[in-house]
A = this chain, B = another copy of it.
Amino acid sequence: MARKQDEKKRTKILNAAISAFGDQGFTNTTMKDIAVASGIAPGSIYTYYKDKEVLFISSVNAVWKKFYLQLDRILHSNASISNRIQDITEYGFDILKELHPLVRGMYQEANRLNLFRKNLVRVSNQIAEIFDVPEAAHYPLTKYDSKSRAYLLKLWISGILFTFSSVSSARLKDEITNMRSLISQNLLPD
């Protein structure tokens, strides 16, 4: 019985944390913010979570966990491949809607200062234009209209940046090799 009480409180804290970290990122979120949002005293949070960092990790993991739960259900369902892929996409985006603030929060600084969006769009558009000539006909990307092509390129570049954002210097070289071969395989003609 007492346990249930505790779990409720723990959950309240976690939800408040997820939303606060999501809105403001790790460093801009104060323990007091979370305390106020969850209606629990600052000191009491430490009964449930060792420190701010643990609370942050727990927040992110909680979201991943939620995602895994649904992902597993879908993957192991009896639906057809096509349906399962559709399901994953659909549910993936549903989760993303929830997870969205947290993902944004993780990049709070970069986003606040609008460091990426414009540059990514500009670079994608510029590269996309290369394919606007007849000689490019045999490149895979020419099967898309101009706008889709730029959008797809933006996805690639974003993916590359994100990937490398979590690569250690030590592994940088290898990762570049991998990525390069992925690019040849996909964006260059056979």
Where the two chains meet, the residues of A that have a C-beta atom closer than 8 Å to any C-beta of B are: 2, 25-28, 41, 43, 53, 56-57, 60-61, 64, 67-68, 71-72, 75, 80-82, 84-86, 88-89, 93, 96-97, 100-101, 103-104, 106-107, 109-111, 113-117, 119, 123, 126-127, 129-131, 133, 135-136, 139, 144, 148, 151-152, 154-167, 169, 172, 176, 178-180, 182-183, 185-189
Q: Which secondary structure dominates where chain A touches chain B?
A: helix
Residues of B within 8 A of A106 (CB): 107, 109-110, 115, 165
| Minimum Cβ distance to chain B for residue A178 (Å) | 7
- Given contacts A93-B180, A106-B109, A172-B100, A127 and B88 within 8 Å (CB-CB): yes
Count this chain's copies in the assembly.
4
Tell me the bound Cα distance from A67 to B127 in angstroms. Answer: 13
Residue of B nearest to A172 (CB): B100
| Minimum Cβ distance to chain B for residue A42 (Å) | 10
The answer on a CB contact under 8 Å between A166 and B116 is yes
Tell me the bound Cα distance from A61 to B112 in angstroms. Answer: 14
Tell me the bound Cα distance from A80 to B144 in angstroms. Answer: 20
The answer on a CB contact under 8 Å between B187 and A85 is yes
Tell me the bound Cα distance from A156 to B158 in angstroms. Answer: 9
Q: Residue A126 contacts which of B71, B101, B167 (CB distance < 8 angstroms)?
A: B71
